[in-house]
Homo-oligomer: A and B are copies of this chain.
Amino acid sequence: MIQELKNSYGTLFEEELLQEIIASATYKEVPEGFKLIEIGDYVKSMPLLVSGAIKILREDTDGDELLLYYLEKGETCTMTMACCMGQKKSEIRAIAETDTKLIMIPIEKMEVWTAKYKSWRDFVFESYHNRINELLLTVDSVAFLNMDERLLNYLKEKVRVTNTSILKNTHQEIAYDLHSSRVVISRLLKKLEKLGSIELHRNYIKILDLNKV
C-alpha cells in the first residue's frame, strides 16, 4: 500500500500527511463490476483511487439509470466525502468499471486533516471543483447533445478510461448508462459501424476510429 500511495499521491501530500494516511487508512482491491456504494447507503470511509476506474451512476424513482462520470487514479469520491461530513445518505451508486485499487480513509480524519494540512485542503477543494465540472459536462451532454453525439462521447470516454479499444459491453448495458433503449443504441451503433468507426460483435465492440464522424 505504501508504494501505491506514494505513486499516486506522493507529490500531492506532504510527508507527514502520507505517514498519517499509512497509519490510519486501509487498502482495498475490488474486481470489475464490484458495487462500492449503493444509493441510500451511509458511508463511513472515503476512498482514494490508486488504480482502475469507478463509474458513478444516478438513478431516478423508476429505477432508470444514468452514468454521471468516471473516477480515476488520484481522484476521490467527492459525493462520498460530502455524505461522510454531513452524515447523509449517498445520492449515487458507485461501481468499479475495471479492477480497482483503493485506499480507504476513515471519516474522522477528514475534519482533522482539513484543519491541519494545507495540501489536504487543496486536494479536497480540487476534488470538489473537478466533480462539479464533471457534473456540468454531464448536464451539457444530457441537455444539449443528441443521442448519437452522446454515444460517441461515451465510447471515447470508455476507451480512455479502460485504456483499450475493445469495449466489452452489450448494447443493453450502454443503453442503461445513457438512459436510452437497447434498440436505439443498436441503431446508432450500426450507423457508426457503417461509417467504419467501429466493428460490432457479440458482447464486445472493437473501436477503429471515433474521430471519423
Q: Which residues of A contact B (CB under 8 A)?
A: 58, 60, 62, 64, 66, 68, 78-79, 82, 85-86, 88, 91-92, 111, 114-115, 118, 121, 125-126, 128-129, 131-133, 135-136, 138-140, 142-144, 179
Contacts and interface: CB of A to CB of B under 8 A. Distances in A.
A128 B127 CA distance: 11
B115 A121 contact: yes
Residues of A contacting B: mostly: helix
A106 to B, nearest CB: 17
Contacts of A129: 82, 85-86, 88
Given A121-B115, A135-B132, A139-B135, A144 B64 contact: yes
Contact of A126 (B86, B91, B114, B135): B86
A136 B66 contact: no
19 contacts: A58-B140, A60-B140, A60-B143, A60-B144, A62-B144, A64-B144, A85-B129, A88-B129, A111-B121, A114-B114, A115-B115, A115-B118, A115-B121, A128-B132, A131-B132, A132-B135, A135-B136, A138-B139, A143-B179
A137 to B, nearest CB: 10
Contacts of A64: 144
A88 to B, nearest CB: 8
B144 A91 contact: no
A62 B129 CA distance: 25
Contact of A143 (B66, B91, B115): B66
Contacts of A126: 86
A133 B91 contact: yes
B79 A132 contact: yes
A132 B78 contact: yes
